[in-house]
Structure 1
Amino acid sequence: MKRNGLILIALFLLFVIALLDQDGQKKISALFEGSGNSKSETSEEQKSITALAAEGALKPGTSSPAFKLSGLDGKQYAVGGKRDKALLLNFWASWCDPCREEAPELVNIAEKYKDSLDVYGVNVTFYDKLDDVKKFVKEYGFTFPVLLDEKEKVYRMYNGIAFPTNILIDKDGVIRDVVIGLISPEDLQGKIEKLLNP
């Protein structure tokens, strides 16, 4: 029931935007489908999509909200405060096409930066099915921890509004960047390099 209500609200908002502005259709479509449709899209377009989506998001320079979640591996994972390594927190769902497109790059990032960066995939299980989550993780060969946000509590703490969402957190527990939607692997790695080498 709750999920149906959220879907109806989202559809209504999409309809209103479409009526107000044909350009709004492109922005919303790109937000949910990711900007990976064409390499010729400008970074200005991505910036406007991100700005549209990020109005309520947590801001860089603020402390990351603290939480604990169980992982698919049965272990408990905690975020908040100082850490040994920087952290890429990735919110995703198995039915999300941009998440599928991004998944191989997350595996590459986790391996490439394993000595200086933790990658936690946070599946918002409230909007997903555990069997589908397990299939997704196996299909894409996730080697990093996959945390289960079964009540959507953490996603709400981080003001999540779209999948995928990547939060880059430094070793002091401070949010350094918020990436809503799909960006190119090069841009994501550039943001990680900036996080690790300020």
Structure 2
Amino acid sequence: MKRNWIIMGVILIMAGFAVYQAVQTQQNKAAVPEGVGPQPGLAAPALELPAFDGQTYKVGGKRDKPLLLNFWASWCTPCRDEAPDLARLYNQYKDRFDVYAVNVTVQDEIANARDMVKEFDFKFPVLLDYQGRSMDAYQYKAIPTNYLIDKDGTVLEVLHVIEPKYLEKRIIELSK
């Protein structure tokens, strides 16, 4: 009889543990869907990368201004197409929002990236991702991919090729 109680107790403990693990798995899947980068309403993943200017920049958490996080490479034609608009909008609204342009250096040549920065006269920080950490954190599948992040560090939108008038409207809305 005592043996039956012990077996029953072990079974109940194992069943309780299985239920606990199932609940934890569901909660983790709800927080960040597997195979999908950060979506609107979710916190922007933490990311820390060096930049051409010698500083290290961090993404994630509260900020002073909204942020446009732009992932690009010098060989990417749509990235080159949106570059003049990014530079112009940043120069016009840099007191209202930040731009971090993350060069996917793991898939680019540093000299080509530097040439593109000079060609389009980027005044915003250009971060360098030598190891692909941004791809792991943000899980983007194509470039350019842009994340509009608010002051609280929450992703507001995921944009691919930027429409300048739309972005300008969003910058004005976010800086009120």
What is the TM-score with the length of structure 2 in the denominator?
0.76
C-alpha distance after superposition, 1:75-113 (max 9, x if no partner): 111111111111110000000000111000111111121
Residue in structure 2 matched with residue 94 of structure 1 by the alignment = 74
Distance 1:83 1:183 in 2: 22
Q: Using the alignment, how far apart are the partners of 2:138 and 2:175 within structure 1?
A: 22
Q: Which residue of 2 aligns with 1:149?
A: 129
Structure 1: state its 5+ residue gaps. 1-54
Give TM-score, length-normalised by structure 1.
0.68
Which residue of structure 2 lines up, in the alignment, with residue 71 of structure 1? Answer: 51
The unaligned stretches of length 5 or more in structure 2 are: 1-34
Q: CA RMSD in A?
A: 1.4
1:167 to 135, 141, 147: 147
Seq. identity, %: 49
| Mapped contact 1:168–1:195 kept (Cα < 8 A) | no
Quote the residue 2:110 is aligned against.
130
Please state whether the residue corresponding to 1:69 is helix, strand or coil: strand
Look up the SS of the partner of 1:56 in the other structure: coil
In 1, Cα distance between equivalents of 2:95 and 2:143: 27
Any conservation in 1 of the 2:96–2:171 contact (CA below 8 Å)? Answer: no
Runs of 4+ in 1 over 6 A off after TM superposition: none
Structure 1 residue 183: deviation in Å?
3.5
Mapped contact 2:38–2:45 kept (Cα < 8 A)? no
Q: Distance in 2 between matches of 1:167 and 1:194?
A: 16
Q: Measure, in 1, the Cα distance between the counterparts of 2:122 and 2:81.
A: 14
- Is 1:192 equivalent to 2:168 in the alignment? no
Structure 1 CA distance, aligned partners of 2:77 and 2:174?
27
Task: Please list, as runs of the form range in 1=range in 2, the aligned pairs for 1:170-181 lying within 5 A after superposition.
Answer: 170-180=150-160
Counterpart of 1:27? none
Q: How does 1:40-119 map to 2 (within 5 A)?
A: 56-119=36-99
Distance 2:38 2:91 in 1: 27
Corresponding letter in the other structure for 2:51: G
Does the CA-based 8 Å contact 1:109-1:189 persist in structure 2?
yes
